[in-house]
Structure 1
Amino acid sequence: MSILWVILGFILLVVGGEFLVRSSVAMSFKFNISKLVIGMTVVSFATSAPELLVSLNAALSGSPAIAINNVVGSNIANIGLVLGITALIGSISVDKSFYSFNWPVMMLFSLGMYYFLKNDGQLTPAEGGVLVAALVVFLILLIRRTKKDKVIEEVDDALAQVSYFKIIIWLILGAVALYFGSDWLVEGAKDIARSVGVSEAVISVTMIAIGTSVPELAASVIAAARQEKAISLGNLIGSNIFNIGSVLGLTSIIKTIPVTEAEILNRDIFWMIGFAAVLLPMIFIPKKFQISRYKGFVLVFAYSLFIYLVFKG
């Protein structure tokens, strides 16, 4: 029964996230916000909603390990699983903004998260405020850079014609789906952890993390199969930054998140930092500015090794 709740939770998170993205973008058009800003901010926040709801629900229900490892696991899955599988389908080109801006910022957020957790064994409201403030600064700089480079995010123009009534319905459906999806997923995952004799941290860094990365994986695979450049390394890097800045930042502002599982600081977070760090040499060796099929295989293999070691350990 627990597995059923987890599956239903996953489905509701995907559906709820989609409705929230659509309603958010449509509402942004109503307020005459530019496509650039919508793509950089509104869509990014909306797509982080499943992770945010899961982490917040976990923290408030007394499962802080799930709250932290949901983000850690999602960041690992974004690079090892999503980027790896997408590269296996077709090589991904990398632009110079990756190593000049996006990658350094992701590393700063990752190391900052590690410092905050290692320093006192918890993520406090003040530290969460720092993460959120840093995210706002990142977004301002990102929008300025994007305007300068004249690059505009893909945003569906058809959503500009949606009525207020439909927007409200989408918002309600999205909110309800996300609420129940996060609740069922967290409770189901906790039951599974108890029944198979592993910690909540193990379930959250694997099962829950993969579940909250399913929408990105599906979109990436479909785009790669159609040979569309709808997925880029920059998008996944941005997702990892949002996971730390908005998901953990906002959750810890509402409730302090203590580290209750030693593996989080002794193992899992180092995998997250490692997957992030290895991307820099990977784009230069052996073929520059490209994540080839071979590199995609290496990422997927490393992710599989991580999953094996987590369950074995």
Structure 2
Amino acid sequence: MAYILLIIGFGLLIKGADLFVDGSSNIAKLLRVPSILIGLTIVAFGTSSPEATVSIIAALEGSADVALGNVVGSNIFNITLVAGVAAFLYPLRVENETIRKEIPFTLLASAALLILMSDIALQGSGSNLLTRNDGFIFLLFLSIFMYYVIEIGLKSRKDTADEPVTEEISWGKNILITILGLAAIIFGGDLVVANGTEIAYSLGMSETLVGLTIIAIGTSLPELVTSVSAALKKESEIALGNIVGSNIFNILFVLGASASISPLAANDKMFIDVILMIVLTIILLVFSRTSFKVGKREGLVLVAAYIIYLVYIILRN
């Protein structure tokens, strides 16, 4: 039964992503804002909802490793496999603002995570802990990022105020399509994580390994199918905005909310994963600076990086 539900989950994810990209792309046109901003906000927040659900429930149940591992594992998956596959299918065009501000903001959020969880090294504490205060700091960072995105959106809307909408697009229909797509993504992601985890345990995988692989990959499937779907529709700005925005939301919102609910203990192994996440974000930034796009070759390098990382964590655990 678990295998059947897993296949249904994948089906919902794929169809949901298709509807979600279409609806959100049309909403961007109606709002007269660049697609990248929709990717950074509505799409990124929507596709990050499975991570939020899993990590917040894990925090409430006292499973800090699952809450933290889910976010870090998901972000590495997004930067490498999601960006890599999307770029291989259709080169991702990178806006100057994305290179100068959005990807560096992801880097800043990742560095903040590393600093805030380094209590033993920086303060001589008995354990490394993301406290409630740290959670509130993340949420404060998120509010600054949202202010920046809204300000850019309003400026863009003002600049294009006189431009007519070229096609007949209805608000009601596209809001409905977007909500239905998001619901299918969340429900499909939940089915994939629950049944994938059940299958993994039945095959004898450890809890730590399940957290870093099945749960992290499962909760990132919405980002993967959404970005791939956007790339195939040549909506490369939504594809890249989704990846960058999801990583920002995962650290600032998901970990911020989780740590505010219940302090999260960070084990020693997690430091290597966070450092790898920072290095991979820098690599994505470097790739983005080459001709303002992430092309097929860079995509293959990113996919290879994820395969190497996956082999490493399987051997490590």
- Which secondary structure does the structure 2 equivalent of 1:62 belong to? coil
Q: Gaps (5+ residues) in structure 1?
A: none
Which residue of the other structure, out of 232, 236, 242, is the alignment partner of 2:249? 242
Which residue of the other structure, out of 220, 227, 231, is the alignment partner of 1:220? 227
Measured after TM superposition, the shift of residue 130 of structure 1 is 0.7
- Which secondary structure does the structure 2 equivalent of 1:231 belong to? helix
In the alignment, which residue of structure 2 is the partner of 1:161? Answer: 172
In the alignment, which residue of structure 2 is the partner of 1:300? Answer: 303
Distance 2:19 2:57 in 1: 20
Distance 1:252 1:235 in 2: 24
Measured after TM superposition, the shift of residue 99 of structure 1 is 2.4
Measured after TM superposition, the shift of residue 116 of structure 1 is 1.4
Measured after TM superposition, the shift of residue 161 of structure 1 is 2.5
- Which secondary structure does the structure 1 equivalent of 2:291 belong to? coil
Q: Gaps (5+ residues) in structure 2?
A: 120-126, 161-167
In the alignment, which residue of structure 2 is the partner of 1:95? Answer: 95
Distance 2:100 2:20 in 1: 32
In the alignment, which residue of structure 1 is the partner of 2:216? Answer: 209
In the alignment, which residue of structure 2 is the partner of 1:82? Answer: 82
Which residue of the other structure, out of 116, 119, 128, is the alignment partner of 2:135? 128
Distance 2:48 2:105 in 1: 18
TM-score computed with the length of structure 2 as normaliser: 0.75
Q: 1:283 to 1:305 in 2, by over 3 A?
A: same
Measured after TM superposition, the shift of residue 23 of structure 1 is 12
Q: 1:291 to 1:180 in 2, by over 3 A?
A: closer
Q: 1:23 to 1:146 in 2, by over 3 A?
A: closer
Measured after TM superposition, the shift of residue 56 of structure 1 is 1.2
Distance 2:285 2:21 in 1: 31
How many percent identity over aligned positions?
Answer: 35
Distance 2:62 2:199 in 1: 16
Measured after TM superposition, the shift of residue 292 of structure 1 is 1.3
Aligned Cα root-mean-square deviation (Å):
4.1
In the alignment, which residue of structure 1 is the partner of 2:116? Answer: 116
Measured after TM superposition, the shift of residue 283 of structure 1 is 2.8
Q: 1:44 to 1:55 in 2, by over 3 A?
A: same
Which residue of the other structure, out of 268, 271, 289, is the alignment partner of 1:262? 268
TM-score computed with the length of structure 1 as normaliser: 0.76
Indicate conservation of the 8 Å contact 1:114/1:269, yes or no. yes
In the alignment, which residue of structure 1 is the partner of 2:313? Answer: 310
